[in-house]
Amino acid sequence: MRDIELYRAILGLQEPWMVMNNVELDMPGQQVVVTVDSGPGPFPCPICQTPALGYDRKLRRWRHLDTCQFTTIIQAEVPRVQCSTHGVKQLAIPWAKPGSRVTAPFEQLAIDLLRECAVKGAAKMLRISWAEAWGIKRRAVARGLARRRAEHRTLKQSGETRLTGTKYRWLMRQQEMTAEQHDAFRTLQRSDLKVARAWLLKEQFRQFWDYTYLGAAQKFFARWFWRATHSRLKPMTAVAKRLKCHLANVLTYLNHGITNAGLETVNSTIQWVKKMARGYRNVENFKTAISFHCGGLNLYPPQSW
Ligand SMILES: [Zn+2]
């Protein structure tokens, strides 16, 4: 397979985008530059999708996932179109968000690394600056929060007000509720809302910490894991998979009779965030980090290619 065909396949580009005939390999610089082109047009206006004439082009570059050990750059002359309604607009690019200097798959890898390491460590592994790594973290949180608000808004628009004012109720233990709160909550719980299904899984998992026998705990976890990964709730699937990775450690806790580990998880993660950052310069950054690590947000860039 020739290099152009290889990159066409692995980048998964769709019409009108295609890999041009010049994939440049810079051996001393350990770098591959893949030039991508959109053809002559006309192109759809990014707002109304009406075909519009090209206005001008601007050369842009994005950092992509490495090709073996080589830093890989995608480069393209991105057209701007002149729409009769919306004026001059830049064509939407399927592999990166507007204004981003990295591709969506690179951003996803960065988010995974930032979840596991301090910003400095992740930046070093990704060969980007501290400020770039922090920017990815901040944008990921903004995206996750926007998605959460959108879900709430959609529910509200469809006349769904059941969730309004229940934010803290979901975090409460049932024993702490008044009889009235309890009744209202039972109704919510039985609903088909995503948050209700997630809450149920969280509540069911609470039982795990009461096990004292290893075998029984393992059996319980296997059943819970199946339910969580079949819940059609991406964040719950992610949590379940993460717990499974650490299952050996978690079971050790049970063996030593430390039963409130579940409640301690969020606290210890916050402490870990604090330690990793060795003191945040401002409260906003600290809040961003907590939302990033403990907010249960969907942080990934949208997958459009
Ligand atoms: Zn338009």
**Does residue 11 come out as left (phi exceeding 0), alpha (psi in the -120 to 50 range) or beta?**
alpha
Q: Please tell me the predicted confidence (pLDDT) of residue 133.
A: 93
Q: Please tell me the predicted confidence (pLDDT) of residue 113.
A: 93
CB 133 within 8 A of CB 125: no
Q: Tell me what percent of the residues of the chain surpass a pLDDT of 90.
A: 23
Distance from Cα 92 to the centre of ligand 1, integer Å: 12
Distance from Cα 79 to the centre of ligand 1, integer Å: 14
Distance from Cα 83 to the centre of ligand 1, integer Å: 5
Beta bridge partners of 78: 58
Per-residue pLDDT of 192-224, as tens digits, reads 667 777 877 887 887 787 777 788 888 999 999
Q: Please tell me the predicted confidence (pLDDT) of residue 125.
A: 92
Backbone angles phi, psi at 18, to 5 degrees: -145, 155
Distance from Cα 250 to the centre of ligand 1, integer Å: 54
SS3 state at 40: coil
- Is 80 exceeded by the pLDDT of residue 141? yes
Distance from Cα 54 to the centre of ligand 1, integer Å: 13
Distance from Cα 187 to the centre of ligand 1, integer Å: 45
Distance from Cα 78 to the centre of ligand 1, integer Å: 17
Per-residue pLDDT of 228-240, as tens digits, reads 888 888 878 888 8
Distance from Cα 90 to the centre of ligand 1, integer Å: 11
> Taking the model in full, what pTM does it have?
0.61
Distance from Cα 87 to the centre of ligand 1, integer Å: 7
Give the pairing type, strands 51-67 and 70-83.
antiparallel
Per-residue pLDDT of 5-22, as tens digits, reads 777 777 777 777 888 877
Distance from Cα 53 to the centre of ligand 1, integer Å: 11
